[in-house]
Structures are given as C-alpha cells and as structure tokens.
Amino acid sequence: SVCSLAWNSNGQTVAGSLTGVAGAAPNGITQPTDVFLESPTTLLVAASGNHVIQRWTTGNLNSGANIAGQNGVAGPANNQFNTPASVVVDANGNLLVVDNVNTRIQSWAPGAVVGTTIAGTGNII
C-alpha cells in the first residue's frame, strides 16, 4: 500500500492567544522560542519575553501555567531566567533550560522552585 502525508495548509493554535496578543495572562505567551512535547497532550514552552517556562495542555488555550522562572521578571537568581531560549526534559523528569542572557544551563527537579546551574558561568558577557 502507498501512504501519502501532507501538512495541513491551515495552522491550528494549540497554546497561547488566538488573536496573537502576547501577555502575562494564562493564555499569553511573549516571544516563545522553543517548544518541547512533554506528553501527547502537554507542551512546554520557553517564553523568553515572559522569562518563564510554561506548561500547556493542548486543546485548552487557557491552560498555561508558569512552572519555572518568575513571570515578567528577568534576573540571575536560581529562581529566575533572563530570556530562556530552549527547554527539554531529561529521563529523570528534570527540566533543562538554556538561560540565554545569563549564559547558563539550569536543571530544575520536578516541582522545584529553584534551579541548579549545571553548565556555564551565569555571568552576563
């Protein structure tokens, strides 16, 4: 048999605002830079403009929750990011976050309120 697949020509919003309005509200993502599929129905978003990592349930545009960082507050403390660029989850469930302006990679254990710098200096260059 032959199988032919094609991308849908119309995109579907699965997280954030349908109108494209950025913001700090649960349905607002400011400057998303990366997405990680945590499960078939859960996305993690590096929201660099909000300085947080958010968790979203697909199909529910009001489900965004900040799970790491401080919303709208950039900084170098272990509970803050300054323009997070990327997020993945390792085999132990830890978030690994590229904290761009702070020049570091942080690891956040599940449910943690602070991260640990595992690479980089944390010094702005």
- Map out the domains of the chain with their CATH numbers: 32-120 (2.40.10.500)
Considering the entire predicted model, what is its pTM? 0.85
Report the pLDDT value the prediction gives residue 18, as an integer from 0 to 100: 67
Other beta carbons within 10 angstroms of residue 47's beta carbon come to 30
The string of DSSP codes covering 12-79 is ---SS-TT----SSTT--SSEEEEEEEETTEEEEEETTTTEEEEEETT-TT--EEEEEBTTBB-SSTT
Report the pLDDT value the prediction gives residue 11, as an integer from 0 to 100: 74
> C-alpha distances in angstroms, 51 versus 41, 85, 91?
23, 9, 24
User: 112-121 pLDDT, tens per residue?
Assistant: 999 999 999 7
Q: What is the DSSP letter of 98?
A: E
Report the pLDDT value the prediction gives residue 24, as an integer from 0 to 100: 67
Distance CA 119, CA 87 (A): 14
Q: Are 101 and 83 in contact (CB under 8 A)?
A: yes
**Would you write out the chain's pLDDT as a tens digit for each of its 125 residues?**
677 667 777 777 777 776 666 666 656 788 889 999 999 989 999 999 999 999 988 877 777 889 999 988 999 999 999 999 999 999 999 999 999 999 999 999 999 999 999 999 766 65
Report the pLDDT value the prediction gives residue 100, as an integer from 0 to 100: 93
